[in-house]
Amino acid sequence: MNVDPQLFILFSLGIDIFLCLVLVTVWWRHNDELQAPAWAIGQIALTAGTVFWRLGPAFGPRMPAVALMLVVSVAGFWAGTEFFLGKLDQARLRRAIAVTALLGLACYALFAVADDAFVTTTTVALSYAITFIWVGWRLLSHRTGYGVLGWVCVLRGLFNLANALQLVPTSFELWLVASLLVKSASILCLIHAVQDKIQKRYTHAIDSLSKGFLVYDRQGVIRTANERCARLLRAPAVRQLIGSNIADWTTGLTRSEVEDHFQRFAAATAYPYVETRVFRQGAPDELPVELIASPHYERGQLHCMMLVMDITDRKKKDDELYRAAHYDSVTGLLNRHGLTIELDRQLVQARQSGLVCAVLFIDIDKFKRINDSFGHATGDLLLQQLAERLRGCIGEHDLLGRCGGDEFVVVLPGLAPEQASAQAAACGERVLGALGARFDLAQHAITVSASIGVACQDSDGMAADTLVRNADIAMHDVKKSGRGDMRFYDEGMSAYAREALVIDGALRGAIPNGELRLVYQPIVDARTGRMDKVEALLRWHSATLGNVAPDRFIPVAEDSGLIIDLGAWVLAEACRQLGAWREALPQLAVSINVSARQLLEPAFVGLVQRALAEHGLAPQQLELELTERVLIGTGGQVHATLAQLRALGVSISLDDFGTGYSSLSYLTRFEIDTIKIDRSFVTGMVDCPRSQALVATIVALGQSLGLQLVAEGVETADQASSLGATGCHYLQGYHISRPVPADALLRFAGTSLPAAEAGH
C-alpha cells in the first residue's frame, strides 16, 4: 500500500481536532463538567506536540515545545480523570502543579542534552503509556460504571508502551491505522463518558425526587420516568416504563382516558395543571395521586411533564378531617352538619322522583340528670347504646344523625306522599318501644324515655333546615305536655315555638352584650316596716327584641340550658350589688331565684362560696328561692345540695307555697328557712273569709315549725294590715314597692312602710 505519510498525519490530526472540539462543545453546553475541557486540552496538547515534532529540526524551539506539550498533555489527562472521579481538591492540585513543573524541566533537560530522536520518541511514548494505564486503572478501581472507557485507556497505554519498546510493526501504514483506531476509540469513549455522566446526573436528580416524575406524549407513551414513578406504578424498573403506555401500568385506566387527560392538559389556560385521581393497582388496592403537569417540548412536539404525588397520607388526613366535620365522635353517626348535607341531597332526589322525606327529631328526656348522676363516661356509653338501638329501628337507606347533646334525627327518604305520615309514625313507635327498654351501663340499670317530633316534606317545608326545625318544634310541644310521646308538626305549634327559637338565639348573646340587669323588690318587716331583704329579679332588654318579659325568656332558658349561665350571672351581680350596699344597708339580705338545673350542677355550691367570698358577704345575707317544681323528682340530689348550702349558712326559701299538692311533705324532707305565701291567697283574703282562714293556717303552720313567712303580692293597705294581724313576718308587693333599679332602692330605704300602716 503506497500511502502518503503526510496525508495520513493530517487526516489523523484532523480527527483529533474534531473530537476535541466535540469535547469542548460538551463542556460549553454544560460548563460545570470540567473533565471535558481537561481531557480536550490533554488531547490537543498531544496533537500539538506531534505537529511540533513533525516540523523537524528546522523548527528551532522544537524540543522545548515538545517537552511543554508533553507536560500539558499528561496534566490534562490526569486532571480530567480526577475531575471525572470528583477527587480533585486544592491539596492534590498544588502537588500536581509542583510535579508537573518538575516533569517539564526534566523532559526539557533530557531532550536538550540527548538531542536524539529515539530518546525523545521513546520518552514521549513511555510517558503516555504510564499516563493512560494510570487513567484506566483509576477508572476501573473506582468502579464508576465506565469499565469500557477504563479498558480502552489501558489498551491505549499498552499501545504506547509497545510503541516505546518498538513492538509495533515497522510498517508506517499499520502503525498509523492502529494508532488512529486506539486514539479515536479512547476519545470517543471519553465523549460518551462525559455525556453519560451528564445524563446520569439528571437521572439521579429526578430519581432523588420524593415524587414520581414522568414525561409522556399525546398517545400516553412514557418518554422519561424516575424510580419513584416506577414504584408508584409498580413497574419492575424504569427501563420497563420507557416506551410503554401509562395505561398499561394502572388497572382501570384506559388509553382513551390518558388521551383525554392530555387534551385537558393541552387546553389549560394556566400551568401547572393540577388534577387528582385514583390509580387502581388491582382490587382492592387503590393509589390516590395528585398530578401536577407542565408543558415540555421535544422536537417541536408538546409533551406532558408530570409530577405524580402519592397523596395517601394526605387523603387519609382529609378523610379524618371530613369525618370530624361530618360525623359525631361519640356515636359515629352523622353530626348536624353532615346530616344537613345528606338531607339536602335526599330532598332534591325526592323532588325529582315525586317522593317525599320524613324527619323524626328525637330528644332523650332528662338525659342531663344521667350525666350529673353517673358521670359523662356513662352518659357517652348510653349515647352509643342509644345509637345502636336507633339503627335497629330504621332501614338500610334511612339516615341517622346526632345533632348534639341528647338529640337524634332520623330521616326516612323516598316515601310515597300518601304513606309518609303512616311510615313515619310506625318508625316513631319502634323508636319509643326500643328506647323504653332498660339499658345496662357499667353496673347501672337505666331506663329512659324519648320525646319525638315529626315533620314531612310535602306539607312541612322543602328545605333541610326547615324540616329539622319543624320536627324540633313538634318535639318541644311534646316536652311541654309531659314528654315520652310522639307528635306531628302542625302550623299551630309555630307561634310559641318559633318565638322560643328566636328568643333562644337572642338570649345567647345577652350576657356578652350587656343586655341583662337586675331590679330589686323590697321585702319589709310587717311589724316595723324596715326593709330587711330584697328579691333580685332579672330583666332583659334585647338589642333585637326590645324588652322581653321574664315569663317569656325564663322557660326558654330553662329548656335550652341557658338558665345555668343566667343564674350564675344573677348570683354574681346580686352579690356584687349587695357588697356595694354594705355601708348604707348593713343588715340587708338578697333573695335570688334558683332553678332545678342550677341545683343539679355539681359546681353550684362552689359558685355560691366564691360569690360570697369575693364580695365579703356573710352567708346569711344570701337567700335562695326554690319552687315546688324544683323539688319534684330530684329529691336525692337536691337534698344533698341543699344540705351543703345550709352548712355554709345560706338561707333556703320555698316560693309559691300552697299551690302544690305535696308542699307540706317538703317542709319535713328539706331544711327550709322561709316559706312565701302565694299571691293567689293574698289577693282574696280581705273579701273571702276562706282565703283569710287559709292564710292564717299557713302562718300558724310556719310559726309552729319555726319558719319565716313572706306574703307575696301585697297590693293594698287592707291586705298589709290583715297579714300583720295574722302574724306574717314579711310583706312583699306593689303596695310596698314595685321592683326598682339599684340606685332607687337606697331612696326607698329612707321611706319604708310606716309601722302604723303595717297594722300596729
Q: Say what the pLDDT of residue 96 is.
A: 64
Provide the percentage of residues in the chain whose pLDDT is more than 90. 25
Find, among 199, 188, 181, the residue nearest to 18 by Cα. 188
For the ranges 196-210, 372-386, 388-402, 444-458, which has the lowest average pLDDT?
A: 196-210
**Averaged over 732-738, what is the pLDDT?**
93
> When comparing pLDDT for 292 and 139, which is higher?
292
> Cell numbers 316596716 label which residue?
529
pLDDT at 228 over 80: yes
Q: Say what the pLDDT of residue 361 is.
A: 95
| Mean pLDDT (the chain, rounded) | 80
**515: three-class secondary structure by DSSP:** coil
pLDDT digits over 662-681, tens only?
456 667 677 789 999 888 88
pLDDT digits over 94-152, tens only?
666 666 666 666 665 665 555 566 666 677 777 767 777 777 787 777 766 667 767 77
pLDDT digits over 138-163, tens only?
777 776 666 776 777 777 777 777 76
pLDDT at 58 over 60: no
The three three-digit cell numbers of residue 544, written as one number: 333585637
pLDDT at 755 over 50: no
**Averaged over 642-654, what is the pLDDT?**
91
C-beta of residue 292 within 8 angstroms of C-beta of residue 274? yes
End-to-end CA distance of the chain: 160
> When comparing pLDDT for 175 and 181, which is higher?
181
C-beta of residue 461 within 8 angstroms of C-beta of residue 467? yes
- Choose the most confident range, by mean pLDDT, from 306-315, 461-470, 598-607: 598-607
Amino acid at 67: A
Q: Say what the pLDDT of residue 756 is.
A: 35
Provide the percentage of residues in the chain whose pLDDT is more than 70. 75
**Averaged over 164-176, what is the pLDDT?**
60
For residues 395-431, b (16+ Cβ closer than 10 Å) or e, as one string? eeebbbbbbeebbbbbbbbebeeeebbeebbebbebb
Q: Say what the pLDDT of residue 42 is.
A: 74
Q: Say what the pLDDT of residue 260 is.
A: 85
**Averaged over 319-344, what is the pLDDT?**
88
Query: The pTM is what?
Result: 0.47
Rounded CA separation 42/75 (Å): 7
Domains plus CATH for the chain? 5-206 (1.20.1070), 209-315 (3.30.450.20), 327-489 (3.30.70.270), 520-536+562-749 (3.20.20.450)
pLDDT at 661 over 70: no
Residue 178's Cβ-count burial label (10 Å; 0-12, 13-18, 19+) is middle
pLDDT at 547 over 80: yes
pLDDT at 568 over 90: yes
- State how far the alpha carbon of 260 is from the alpha carbons of 220, 267, 720, in Å: 10, 11, 94
Q: Say what the pLDDT of residue 720 is.
A: 92
C-beta of residue 125 within 8 angstroms of C-beta of residue 164? yes
Q: Which residues contact 474 (CB under 8 A, 6 or more apart)?
A: 361, 453, 454, 455, 487, 488, 489, 490, 493
C-beta of residue 492 within 8 angstroms of C-beta of residue 460? no
| Phi/psi of residue 548, nearest 5 degrees | -115, 125
Q: Say what the pLDDT of residue 758 is.
A: 43
- For the chain, the residue count is 760
Q: Which residues contact 141 (CB under 8 A, 6 or more apart)?
A: none
pLDDT at 269 over 70: yes
